[in-house]
Chain A
């Protein structure tokens, strides 16, 4: 029986996506499933595995440090996602105005995003060094705001704040870039029409600009949530005492007496948290 054109197209479609499905399956689906599998085992460094059921999960749920890590992660996520989006939006609105050397300013703004992580991390560490850093030098010796030098990165009470600031500084350019590209495509007529109706700049922002960039903002937030929940290198290099979930997993998996099964369990939980966050956000916040 001859096959219809639709069936032919469907077959071709499958053939075309097959390579990417294969790669995704191998590099993403398989590790996730294997990780899930490992989380039910006690794994020895020799490679031996012993099935222990849910013992790793029980151990994790009894671990108070884990809850601390979840809390740190939530604060980090809210701080960085809100911070980089708001700063990105603000800068995009500014850069959308006409002024001399605008193109130069637009390029400079992107620099933190392009700079290699390790070099800027060292820069920040040096800025906040308690004895030699420029931050303490200015606060204590130039402005005389306090006579006590602080180790903002080392102190567990302030390290998270510095890490959040660092992340906002490093990543607001990507928010800015996405937002401004949308801003530039908004039809001028809409602003003019609103202005004729007697709307001021604030009303114009909320009734013209915001609805237009709503989906860009939505995409940005979701991307940043995913990136930042999985973020490791920036946090670990800058302040290893800030234990978000990936750092917590790292300590379990690769320091001291290595507990790979337990680390796999933390990753599974992290994956579940991420999936839930995305689902909640897409369905309830964005209502897609």
Chain B
């Protein structure tokens, strides 16, 4: 239960969420004798190892186009380095040593991206067997497992001579995900959807709302709801994740992953963080910063336009101050 700053009136009940992670080719890693990409060192090392542009193969995908995807990838790494937008008092502390380290590291990783500015869509290259790792949410799970869903990413029909573009049924077995990245501390990133009930000053209406809520949490309705997007919408109740009914989705996606992997993925929800929440307090100003796409523009300037990271952070903090001041 999350209580609002004005206690007693608003409550939020977490319902479902997705976790972001680095999805990677476990078979390539094994062959190269590399450790899973869950620390700064192992990620960079693997990105370097698998970056073979002459073979049209790339090490990693991090967002470099100035959009939300870039901010999502960046936040994940920043959280693992204790870099933050705000401290617990609500002061803007973006221009910090930790943030600079993160940005420099991010720019280094981006060197092993496919050419030019990239966003989430480049995950297709992974499905085509041309990339070793990519940041993505659990919404990718059906694309990895089902040929008909993956078809949209395997655009080989027009140019049959372009190689490596047929569905790989073993990809789901050969893929693993690292949901936490560790440097100074384990960092995770994701998003959560919650129900919020407003006191409607009408007991009949309030009761009806409570009834609906109770119904939504009953295992059968809960599971049916989540099965609309298997993998994308994950349960917030741990025992649901282990239920055989949950693992038996209509399209058979979870079966292809197996119980162990699913529970591992859902465990990622435990270490989820964001720039908005510091020490249990929410800072809505962070949402304003997000809306103005300051971090994505900073990333684009550094990775694509070659701006100095120090200058970029100073610029970003200045922009953030303008936004918060508004």
Contacts and interface: CB of A to CB of B under 8 A. Distances in A.
A134 interface: yes
B261 interface: no
B115 A149 contact: yes
B155 A126 contact: yes
A126 B159 CA distance: 11
A40 to B, nearest CB: 19
Majority-rule SS of B interface residues: loop
Interface stretch (A4-12, A100-108, A151-159, A178-186): A151-159
A130 B116 contact: yes
Contacts of A149: 53, 56, 115
Given A154-B118, A257-B326, A131 B292 contact: no
B292 A256 contact: yes
Nearest to A137: B162
A256 B293 contact: yes
B162 A132 contact: yes
A257 B292 contact: yes
A256 B58 CA distance: 32
Interface string A86-107: 0000000000000000000000
Contact of B116 (A126, A137, A155): A155
Contacts of B65: 154
B116 A150 contact: yes
B72 interface: no
Interface string B20-56: 0000000000000000000000000000000001101
A147 interface: yes
A256 B130 CA distance: 34
A241 interface: yes
B165 interface: yes
A148 interface: yes
Contacts of B115: 130-131, 148-151, 154-155
B117 A154 contact: yes
A132 B116 contact: no
A149 B115 CA distance: 7
B222 to A, nearest CB: 36
A224 B323 CA distance: 39
B155 A156 contact: no
A256 B291 contact: yes
A119 interface: no
B129 to A, nearest CB: 11
Interface string A117-146: 000000000100011101001000000000
Contacts of A156: 304-305
Interface in B223-269: none
B116 A257 contact: no
A156 B162 CA distance: 26
Nearest to B159: A134
Interface string B287-305: 0100111000000000011
Contacts of A155: 115-117, 304
Contacts of B165: 132
A256 B326 CA distance: 13
A187 interface: no
B159 A130 contact: no
B59 interface: no
A130 B53 CA distance: 11
Interface string A256-278: 11000000000000000000000
A36 B176 CA distance: 57
Given A130-B115, A147-B54, A257 B323 contact: yes
A260 to B, nearest CB: 14
A131 B159 contact: no
B309 interface: no
A255 B292 CA distance: 7
A156 B304 CA distance: 8
A255 B323 CA distance: 13
A139 to B, nearest CB: 12
B128 interface: yes
A49 to B, nearest CB: 16
B160 to A, nearest CB: 12
A92 B65 CA distance: 41
Interface of A: 126, 130-132, 134, 137, 147-151, 153-156, 241, 255-257
The 4 closest A-B pairs by CB, nearest first: A151-B116, A154-B116, A256-B292, A130-B115
Given A149-B56, A255-B293, 6 more contacts: A131-B114, A132-B128, A151-B117, A154-B115, A155-B115, A241-B117
